[in-house]
Structure 1
Amino acid sequence: MADQQWRMTNQHQEEDNDEEAVPVSPVGQYFNSSALCIYIIGVLEFQVPLDESQAIPLLQRLFLPINPRFSSIMVEDSSGDKRWKKVDVNLKDHVNIPLFPEFNSMKPYDKYFTDYLSRIAIEKLPENRPLWEIHVVNYPTSGAASSLIFKLHHALGDGYSLMGALLSCLQRADDPSLPLSFPSLKPSKSANKNFFSTFSLVMSSAYNTVVDFYWSMLKSTIIEDDKTPIRSGFEGTEVRPLTISTMTFSIDQIKLIKSRLGVTINDVITGIIFYGTRLYMQDINKKSSSANSTALVLLKTRNTEGYQSIDEMLNSKAKGPWGNRISFLHVPIPKLEHDRISNPLEFIWEAHNIIKRKKKIFSVPITGILLEMEGKFRGHEAVAKHIHGTLSKSSTVITNLIGPTQPMSLANHPVKGLYFTLAGGPESLVISVMSYMGVLRVTLKAEKYFIDEHKLNSRIKCAFETIFDAALEFSQQAKT
């Protein structure tokens, strides 16, 4: 009788725990499945060495209270659905402090750092504890005195949510009493249109929606990009060795190109990346400069104009800022033909026209609805396999986040720079863009032994310089 009573009490406790557990969002389940396991890797670079003794107290005081997911594990309930279950967190399990060989000289540890970063990016996090960890790298590189690496499972949230959480732990270095500020994301107001122009726009959007939706579905299921110097097409690319490298550009120069050509900053960045990528492809294999290649441009699907406070994130409704509110656009990479070599600005205008047209259509929300329906009827594993196929059939993934305009600090450690990337996907190349204090940081996560990241970096930098000079000449020609 006592044993039976204990089992009944234990069963009731498990049922109560299941009721308290928060359901994992559909996208969160897609990103943590047998088909997909996606991570966000963020790096903070500091001007001074880090005080390692502050790591655990700062995590306890600042990081864990941000969201219950940072103190939860993903479990399956009796119906097979995944939920976030609160657990006790042993912070020592989540803090890693690597030891590199000591040098007698002042030589920076760039290679050791990049090798370490690349190695931990492909390692899977244990499922029996919360899905995040940090790495305190107290060795100088050519760009920083020390670095802090955050590895966060994408199931915890999208880049917007997780970057907002990370930034909530930081403060303004010049005046901690003031909040961090960010560039405005308000779209420019469009001019009033008459009935005929509005009707024409609606009809054009409807036609383009059908065409783009049909093409996107084919790209996700049947048609795959050509194998090129940026797409190996190898099975198991997600677990193959990778390299992570970065480069910087001046936002003021990006803005100058933007104003001279009458486009957006995103158009300029995308055009530079496309042009530089094609130049690299041509260097490795001349025929690949005209190969069929597609970029998946990740989008945030939330009605916000910038990062909100953590309180606003947590108090929002189910479709609010916290969570995985993302989708993507299939954007064909313009081919490097003879006329484009003579006029690289065509890459900017082409990116502008493609993105502008795709923003006016409704294939993205329609695709989201269909994926949600597929998840209900076929299960989250089926949708995860569908997304995996979409990623593997494309050539690259491009994603971007906006950082603050003022210098930041963490517990009086001034932040010199920050960047991020994605890991765990089947693509050979991921290009991430992050802004901070007037500098644009472009990060390449590339398949090791297949992509020459040094040459690719060089060609993207060359593309920037070529387009910048061409934009200045275009402005002068336009004035004459």
Structure 2
Amino acid sequence: MEEEEPVSPTGQYLSSSVLNVTVLAVFETLMPIDDSQSTTALESIFLPINPRFSSIMVTDEHGVRKWKKVEVKLEDHLKVPVFPPGLELYDEYLQDYITKISMEPLPFSRPLWDVNVIKYPTSTAAGTLIFRLHHALGDGYSLMAALFSCLKRIDDPSLPLTFPSSKPRRGWDSFLGFAQEISYACVNTIRDFGWSLMKSSVMEDSVSAIRSGVPFVESRPINLSYFELSLDDIKTIKKKVDGTVNDVLAGMIFHGLNLYMEEVMDPCNDATKITALVLLNTRAIRTYQNMLEMRSPNSNARWGNHFAFIHIPIPKCDKKNSKVDPLEFILKVKKLIKSKKSSFGIYLSGAFLEIIRKFRGPEVASGYMLKTLTNSSLAISNMIGPMEEVEMVGHPVSGFHFMMVRAPQSLTITIVSYNGKVRLAIGAEKDFIDSPLLVSCMKKSFSELYETAASETENRVNGHEHAKQNMIASKAFHTET
């Protein structure tokens, strides 16, 4: 008999009576979806990825929750909705369907996932596949790695997918740099851990245009929308501010939120408290590993929920300065994120949560995590995707995004890269946040950042060229005289 694996502490927090979070992964295809082979594909490709896809949660005689292997009835997990016939596009029906399934909890009587096959065209895709996966199965890194293992490169299916890599961190090259970093980290750790405790207990964000503050907001319907940006354009801004792609995206999001709040006549002021929870992968490795390596107990990228939150206060526009440089948003965010990442506060917060679980139980610890989410205004999660065009079971993929649903916030923003583009998905509380306006403000924010960066770069190039011409002219003058 196969030994039952215990449910991880974080898995218990995310599947409690107070917190029950699901992840949607939406894949858009360039051709209509043929679902005749769906059951075979799930059985031969999806189920073998990880035993948890064939397991249910059970509680043993000691009150310990474990994963128990069961026989999977695939017909219970495959959903093929039927929409009214005769329409050219089904965008509205797809949006309503996503809203519907995002509100429905996955039943714990069977493995915690399902696949929804949308065989109707929309303005952006010929077909849509929606994977609904419980967060207790794993974090975004684990779940997206699992789905990426189902993909094949279009240019050469025999080659592995490749993913963007990040440069190694700097600042530890000398003993002096090491000492400075340690000193800096100690100060930041004390400050961040104390602030995190306050944010998870008594410090609550203001009710605003992006935070309704209503009880049980996780049960309210959401609208899911997205837009795409060119990775090359992002890198133009990145080079200008000497930052990272994440710095640029965070700065754009925060600037866009300020623009949105101004549009709906709820501008930020000094009294407005708005905090973003940014999710961080705490693994020692950042790129994806294959499924066998992730299941190894000695892996640096183990399967499961290995993430932490950092609290980022959203910078506010300087209303006194009508000529504010939008790039200042990125520089402010870059400084904030750097100080948070140099802190060990997130690990102390994780240890504190584990202490709560051991002495008061997983339900109380889950309530603490719920409070952490509820007291903030939004969550932001970022993933990397394949650099090449890919297909899933013979269907070319035009794009994809993911979203955490049934989380106790009015707004969630997720980011994923794919084939030279970056897609930002926005999960917004329905009938409270104006999703089209918010997307428009985000696009405007990026345009302002890009135009400023590009124009300053062009001015610098023109200045160098002008100086070069003056130097040539000066040499010519001296030669003639």
Give TM-score, length-normalised by structure 2: 0.93
The aligned counterpart of 2:67 is 84
Alignment of 1:4-23 (within 5 A): 20-23=3-6
Could you give the per-residue CA deviations for residues 116-174 of structure 1, whole angstroms, max 9, x where no partner exists? 11110110111110000000000001111001000000000011111111111111111
Change in 2 beyond 3 A, CA 1:266/1:366: same
Alignment partner of 2:40 out of 37, 54, 57: 57
Post-superposition shift, 1:285? 2.6
**Are 1:44 and 2:24 matched, yes or no?**
no
2:261 maps to amino acid = M
Partner of 2:248: 268
Instruction: Indicate whether 1:166 and 2:147 are aligned.
Output: yes
What is the aligned residue count? 460
Post-superposition Cα deviations, 1:281-324, rounded to whole Å, max 9, x if no partner, equal: 11113443552100000000101131111111122438742000
Give the Cα separation in 2 of the matches to 1:478 and 1:235: 52
User: Does residue 313 of the first structure (1) align with residue 290 of the second (2)?
Assistant: no
Q: Does 2:95 align with 1:114? A: yes
Q: Which of 338, 360, 383 does residue 365 from structure 2 map onto?
A: 383
* 1:50-199 equivalent positions in 2, closer than 5 A: 50-103=33-86, 107-190=88-171, 192-195=173-176, 197-199=177-179
Residue in structure 1 matched with residue 477 of structure 2 by the alignment:
none
Q: Equivalents in 2 of 1:194, 1:311: separation in Å?
A: 38
CA 1:340–1:128 in 2, change beyond 3 Å: closer, same or farther? farther
Partners of 1:226 and 1:52 in 2: CA distance: 47
> Is the Cα–Cα contact under 8 Å of residues 296 and 329 in structure 1 kept in the other structure?
yes
Q: Which residue of 1 aligns with 2:391?
A: 409
Deviation at 1:244, TM superposition (A): 0.5
Q: Are the equivalent residues in 2 in contact too, given 1:278–1:289 (CA < 8 A)? A: no
Q: Helix, strand or coil for the counterpart of 2:426?
A: strand
How far off is 1:340 after superposition?
7.7
Q: How does 1:217-236 map to 2 (within 5 A)?
A: 217-236=197-216
Aligned equivalents of 1:470 and 1:82: distance in 2? 54
**Alpha-carbon distance in 1 for matches of 2:115, 2:180:** 53
Report the alpha carbon displacement of residue 81 of structure 1 after superposing the two structures with TM.
Answer: 1.2
Is residue 367 of structure 1 aligned with residue 346 of structure 2? no
Aligned Cα RMSD in Å?
1.6
> Which shifted more, 341-350 or 145-154?
341-350
State whether residues 208 and 266 of structure 2, in contact with CA within 8 Å, keep that contact through their aligned partners in structure 1.
no
Which residue number corresponds to residue 207 of structure 1?
187
1:254 matched to 2:234: yes
The alpha carbon displacement at 1:431 in A equals: 0.2
Does the residue aligned with 1:342 lie in a helix, a strand or coil?
coil
The 10-residue stretch of structure 1 (177-186 or 251-260) with the greater mean CA deviation from structure 2: 177-186
Q: CA deviation at 1:194?
A: 4.8
The 3 A distance-change label for structure 1 pair 82 and 67 is same
Structure 1 pair 134/22, CA: closer, same or farther in 2 (3 Å)?
same
How far 1:477 moved relative to its partner?
Answer: 5.0
Cα separation, 1, equivalents of 2:165 and 2:428: 31
Contact 1:70 1:131 survives alignment (8 Å): yes
The worse-fitting range, judged by mean Cα deviation, of 26-35 and 282-291 is 282-291
Q: Counterpart of 2:303?
A: 322
Matched, 1:243 2:223: yes
Preserved CA contact (<8 Å) 1:340 1:347: no
In 2, the alpha carbon distance for the partners of 1:149 and 1:298 equals 22
Alpha-carbon contact 1:267-1:352 (below 8 Å) kept: yes
**CA spacing shift, 1:323–1:462, aligned 2, 3 Å:** same
Of 251, 265, 277, which aligns to 1:285? 265
Does the residue aligned with 1:450 lie in a helix, a strand or coil?
coil
In the TM superposition, residue 275 of structure 1 has moved relative to its aligned partner by 0.2
8 Å CA contact 1:340, 1:346 repeated in 2: no
Note if contact 2:26-2:130 (Cα within 8 Å) is conserved in structure 1. Answer: yes
Segments of 5+ residues of structure 2 without an aligned counterpart are 464-481
Which residue is equivalent to 1:451? 433
How far, CA to CA, are the matches of 1:289 and 1:279 in structure 2?
Answer: 13
Query: Identity across aligned pairs (percent)?
Result: 44
Question: How far apart are 1:476 and its partner, in Å?
Answer: 4.1
Confirm or deny: 8 A CA contact 1:275 1:344 kept in the other structure.
Answer: yes
Tell me the distance in 1 between the aligned counterparts of 2:70 and 2:300. 25
* Superposed CA offset, 1:302-359 (max 9, x none): 0113111111112243874200001010000001222386211111001100011111
The CA deviation string for residues 166-185 of structure 1, in whole angstroms up to 9 with x for no partner, is 11111111111101111113
Moved over 6 A (4+): none
Q: Whole-Å Cα distance in 2 between the matches of residues 343 and 425 of structure 1?
A: 34
**1:205 Cα deviation after fit:** 1.6
Instruction: In structure 1, give the amino acid aligned to 2:368.
Output: H
The letter of the residue matching 2:73 is N
Equivalent pair of 2:296/2:302 in contact (CA under 8 Å):
no
Aligned equivalents of 1:392 and 1:319: distance in 2? 31
Unaligned runs of 5+ in 1: 1-15
Are 1:216 and 1:330, in contact at CA under 8 Å, matched by a contact in 2? yes
**Counterparts of 1:314 and 1:203, CA distance in 2:** 37
The match for 2:338 is 356
> Following the alignment from structure 2 to structure 1, what is the Cα–Cα distance between the partners of residues 9 and 347?
15
Separation of aligned partners in 2, 1:288 and 1:133: 41
Gap change, CA 1:381 and 1:143, over 3 Å in 2: same
Contact conserved, 1:282 with 1:289, CA < 8 A, in 2?
Answer: no
Could you tell me which amino acid in structure 1 is paired with residue 380 of structure 2?
I
| Deviation of 1:189 (Å) | 4.1
Measure, in 1, the Cα distance between the counterparts of 2:300 and 2:13: 17
Q: In the alignment, which residue of structure 1 is the partner of 2:403? A: 421
Q: What residue is the counterpart of 1:5 in the other structure?
A: none
Output the amino acid matched with 2:44.
Answer: R
Tell me the alpha carbon deviations over residues 170-220 of structure 1, each in whole angstroms, 9 at most, x when there is no partner.
11111111011111134244463353x543332222111101111111111
1:442 aligned to which of 406, 424, 432: 424
* 1:399 aligns to 2:381 (yes or no): yes
SS in 2 for 1:463: helix
Q: Secondary structure at the match of 2:207?
A: coil
